[in-house]
Amino acid sequence: MISFNYEMEFHLVDEAEWSNWLNDVILNENREKGELSYVFCTDEYLHKINIEYLNHDTYTDIITFDYSVGKKLHGDIYISVERVTENAGTYRCSVKEEMARVMVHGLLHLCGYKDKSTVEATIMRGKEDFYLSRFASLGS
């Protein structure tokens, strides 16, 4: 099950569309859907999580906690809506497209993709681009 939770005044438009898209990503990655929770929050909310659980005193757009077992994906994905909105301006794309990129980024982490090295980051970006183009209706 994919759940969407809001810790601020923000809501995804058409949660079913987003859920269907994420389900397609899971299937395409040969994984099974378990309990997945997306939490949309403020910079401050995510900053506190970053300090408390990861000991990082920085702002970020996403933090993913992976509880997956084998091919069955379980996890909590926290997304700063403020960071995503700012990054959309920086990258000159719509907020919806940047939100899709960040959401699939977290899901790809649950699928086992990393982004610490240059090679890993290149692979991750390629996967993100693939899913964004495959489900282009989200970028409108």
* CA proximity to 80, closest of 41, 109, 36: 41
Annotated binding-site ranges: 105, 109, 115
Terminal Cα-to-Cα distance of the chain (whole angstroms) = 26
Looking at residue 131, its pLDDT comes to 96
140 pLDDT above the threshold of 70: no
Cβ atoms of 3 and 37 closer than 8 Å: yes
Residue 87, both tokens: 């990054």
Annotated binding-site ranges for Zn(2+): 105, 109, 115
| 139 band by pLDDT with thresholds 50, 70 and 90 | very low
65 pLDDT above the threshold of 90: yes
86 pLDDT above the threshold of 70: yes
76 pLDDT above the threshold of 50: yes
2-139: which CATH topology? Collagenase (Catalytic Domain) (3.40.390)
| 134 band by pLDDT with thresholds 50, 70 and 90 | confident
Looking at residue 135, its pLDDT comes to 78
CA-to-CA dists, residue 135 to 3, 15, 68, angstroms: 20, 15, 25
